Structure 1
Amino acid sequence: MEASPTPDGAPPDGQAAPAARIRRLRLAALCLALSVLGVGYAVLISDFYHLTEPTESVFRERQADARAPLDIYLEVLAVEPARQAIEVRLDFATQSDSGAPRFPGLPGTDILVEVNDGGDVQEIALQAGQPAISKTLSLSVDGPFENYPLDRYDGTLRIRAIEGKDAAGGVSVPLRLRTWENIASWEVAMSPRYAAAGDKGLSLHVRAQRPSAQILFAFVVFAGMILLAASALTIGGLVFLGARKIEAALTGALGAMIFAVPMLRNVLPGAPPLGVRADAFVFLWVQIGVILGLALFVAAWARRGPPP
């Protein structure tokens, strides 16, 4: 014989202990979830407020002579993962009377600047006595774009300058390269790669990767997608099995989830084109799960829904 509840609505003595244990487990799970969210928030805030200030880096040739160098100012303009390229702008300067670099440069002789990214060589001709105008170049880098948001791109940049208009047999011009690596939504770092003895010019290793705040945001969005799919399957599955009653309002909620998932996909930082690994592992199956949840709910409504 089942125990009847007490007059005040409390569960019988035999069921009080299990009910209290379930409440404690739920409270512990809630506290754990809030703690994880709090730690994630603290990490994110710490990352924002402990960013290193971008600085101007200067690279010089190890074997340069005592002549005044040709100053080159390199600024990263954009990182293009789909093209596996980094767009940079080069400005040229010569020494002024005060010793500071003068932009734009006024070279005393014709100078041919070679920029090599490991795939092709691009030449920039500077004419004697003429202002050296800025030059925008696209440099090739290597990296698995499919690994978004954990993708990283590496490349090698070699720059050398030769007097005259022909690279063959010309006298090398000493270089001093100044780089500015600050660019929105990317962490770009350059480090020297010293050439072998006798080689002229500057060689740099270039690396571009997404900041940790963007990576965390992307994973939070993916987690939100998975939660939507789990919610849709729970609603549709329980109604289809008859464990919960049919409520017509849930049809609109499930339909909205179908359109919410692509919207979440599109607000990812630096949202990549469709086809990255995250789409195959998360987005595709989340969308299928939400649609299946709606289909189960509609099937249950068609079979057991209230008549007109």
Structure 2
Amino acid sequence: MSHYHPCVPVQDPPKPDADVRGRLASIGTVLIVVVIYAGALVGYHYIAGPAKTLSPPDLGESSDTIVQVTLQAIHPVDNQVDVKVMVYPADEHMNTDLNVVNTDIAVRLFQDEINLGGDLETAKGQLPAEIATTISATGDPDKWPFDRYTIGALGADVLVGTGDDRRFEPARVEVTGNLNSWDITSTRSGPATQSLGDGDYQTVTLSRSRGPLAFDLGLCLVLFTLPALALFVSIEMLRGRKNFLPPFGTWYAASLFAVIPIRNFMPGAPPPGAWIDQILVLWVLVALTAAMVLYFVAWFRRSD
């Protein structure tokens, strides 16, 4: 009596070479991503370099009257800089036992020989207090991110005494502080009436650091890539080379509404209507809108 034995197909064992190649490909992909990421970080820090900041203020000798201006924040669109002003009177105007001034003192801070406001007064028997104020900066914010701003020349005079007995005394301006994403340099000019010997006035120049400039360039490349990809996909679907995929509609909408947030995310976002809006942002929006129109034309042709 014969028995029927069904034929069971025998599966070939997996090929070890294919598994090894797959693992090597995965490891290689990860290594490539890591190398690109590390290279981008190193390149960014190399391009950025050290920030240019102002050196600590030189308070000089005790015989000097010094007006220290500390930079706090810059508002490029308004051409204004927030500062704090502190007066360090000369020893002859101080009661060293009580650490207060021994006479009435008023400081007049001026920029390009123009008084910036009222006198910063300190009455006899008090200690000069730090005062917050705003000064103007000369520059064109529409040139972002290559805009530069100049403050100065900053100078100061000190009025000592009361009533008709008041008299002018020279003071030396010292500008200090740092602003994130800005390179700051300063030069001295004017008379040298104090112990420093290289001018009582100080002119400050602010320009954007190279690090934020590189970051702005990267975001501009992102803005350029979005419409390029959108137009390529839409044209391929319209010509029938690629299948029409309905989920792409949400991708187009997300890309369109991401343009303005990306633009505003740029360090020190430019004022509305700046050259980048005219040259890049507007045309990115137009190209994305055109890509959406082509996408809907492709949908209309293939709809039932």
Same-fold call, TM cutoff 0.5: yes
Q: Contact (CA 8 Å) 1:261, 1:287: kept in 2 or not?
A: yes
- CA-CA distance at 1:35 after TM superposition: 10
> In the alignment, what sits opposite 1:161?
158
Equivalent residue runs for 1:1-308 within 5 Å: 41-47=41-47, 50-51=50-51, 55-58=55-58, 68-94=63-89, 106-118=100-112, 120-122=115-117, 123-156=119-152, 157-164=154-161, 171-195=167-191, 202-302=200-300, 304-307=301-304
Question: Separation in 1 of the partners of 2:44 and 2:183?
Answer: 16
Alpha-carbon shift at residue 74 of structure 1 (Å): 1.9
Change (3 A) 1:109 1:161: same
Given the superposition, is the C-alpha separation of residues 300 and 165 from structure 1 closer, same or farther in structure 2, using an over 3 Å criterion? farther
Q: Kindly state the Cα deviation for residue 173 of structure 1 after the two structures are TM-superposed.
A: 2.3
SS class of match (2:271): coil
Which segments of 5 or more consecutive residues in structure 2 lack a partner in the other structure? 1-31, 194-198
SS in 1 for 2:127: coil
The answer on whether the counterparts of 2:181 and 2:211 sit within 8 Å (CA) in structure 1 is no
Secondary structure of the corresponding residue to residue 101 of structure 2: coil
CA shift for structure 1 position 142: 1.0
**How far apart, in 1, do the equivalents of 2:253 and 2:41 lie?**
31
- Find the aligned partners of 2:185 and 2:105 in 1 and give their Cα distance: 28
Shift of 1:277: 1.2
Instruction: Give the Cα–Cα distance (whole angstroms) in 2 for the partners of residues 272 and 297 of structure 1.
Output: 32
1:231 CA displacement:
0.9
State the secondary structure of the residue aligned to 1:162.
Answer: strand
Q: Work out the CA distance in 1 between the residues paired with 2:286 and 2:99.
A: 59
Distance in 2, matches of 1:177 and 1:155, equals 13
8 Å CA contact retained: 1:146, 1:277: yes
For residues 36 and 115 of structure 2, the distance between their equivalents in structure 1, rounded to whole angstroms, comes to 49
Question: How much does 1:84 deviate?
Answer: 0.2
Structure 1: any 5+ residue segments left out of the alignment? 1-30, 61-65
- Amino acid across the alignment from 1:79: I
The secondary structure found in structure 2 opposite 1:42 is helix
- Following superposition, the deviation at residue 274 of structure 1 comes to 1.8
Contact persistence 1:77–1:88 (CA under 8 A): yes
The DSSP-based 3-state class of the residue aligned with 1:45 is: helix
CA contact (8 A) 2:172 2:201 kept: no
Q: Percent identical across equivalent pairs?
A: 20
**Partner-residue secondary structure (3-state), 1:113:** strand
Instruction: Please report how far the alpha carbon of residue 267 of structure 1 lies from its aligned counterpart in structure 2 after TM superposition.
Output: 1.4
Q: Quick one: structure 1 residues 67 and 262, their matched pair in 2 at CA, closer, same or farther if it must change by over 3 Å? A: closer
Secondary structure at the counterpart of residue 70 of structure 2: strand
The 1-side partners of 2:43 and 2:158 are apart by: 46
What SS does structure 2 have at the residue aligned with 1:57? coil
**Structure 1 Cα separation of the partners of residues 126 and 102 of structure 2:** 9
Cα distance change, pair 182–305 in 1 and its aligned pair in 2 (3 A)? same
> What is the root-mean-square deviation in Å for CA atoms of aligned residues?
3.5
Number of residue equivalences:
263
The structure with the largest alpha-carbon Rg is 2
Cα contact 1:59–1:177 (8 A) shared by 2: no
